[in-house]
Amino acid sequence: MSKIVVAYWSGTGNTETMANSIAEGVKAAGKDVEVVSMDDYNASKLKECDAFALGCPAMGAEELEDTIAEPFVNEVEGFASGKKIALFGSYDWGDGEWMRIWAQRMEDAGAVIVGGEGLICNNEPDDEAIETVKS
């Protein structure tokens, strides 16, 4: 599948803003993109994609949201080998540990993390964060 899927879960809208900014960057690069909420999307559809993006903010003690995002990501781990995956999300506290753990999980599953690490921003993405995720 040549379309890039950007799947996200967002509690406050910050990660959704990042998802839409990533989509703008993908479109600007001349590629087709689909932005979907993990709430309404079947993770198994990503098996068809060579590359996709996953977004989730830090929750609790710097972890993925546990009722929607965690099961979604867990399913993706089962077929992540060889996939190029961009990870992104926002946080309000801590230092981004949830993203480092998430990136390591995906690498351990055989995925290649686009950019070598996830894209994170503190709270609402500012202009600089939006430009970063677009590129």
Q: pTM score > 0.85 for this model?
A: yes
pLDDT for 36 equals 98
Sequence spans of domains, the chain: 4-134
* CATH (one of 3.40.50.10860, 3.40.50.360, 3.40.640.10, 2.60.120.1440) for 4-134: 3.40.50.360
pLDDT per residue as tens digits for the range 72-108: 999 999 999 999 999 999 998 878 899 999 999 999 9
Which DSSP helix (H) or strand (E) runs through 91?
strand 84-91
Closest among 65, 59, 112, 110 to 84, alpha carbons compared: 112
Measure Cα distances from 117 to 30, 89, 103, 113, 135 in Å.
Answer: 24, 12, 6, 6, 14
pLDDT for 3 equals 87
Least confident of 37-41, 43-47, 59-63: 59-63
Sign, CA torsion 51/56/62/68: negative
Tokens representing 41? 């999307």
Q: What pairs with residue 131 in β-bridges? A: none
CA distance 95 to 53: 21
Q: What pairs with residue 96 in β-bridges? A: none
3-state secondary structure of 20: helix
pLDDT for 108 equals 97
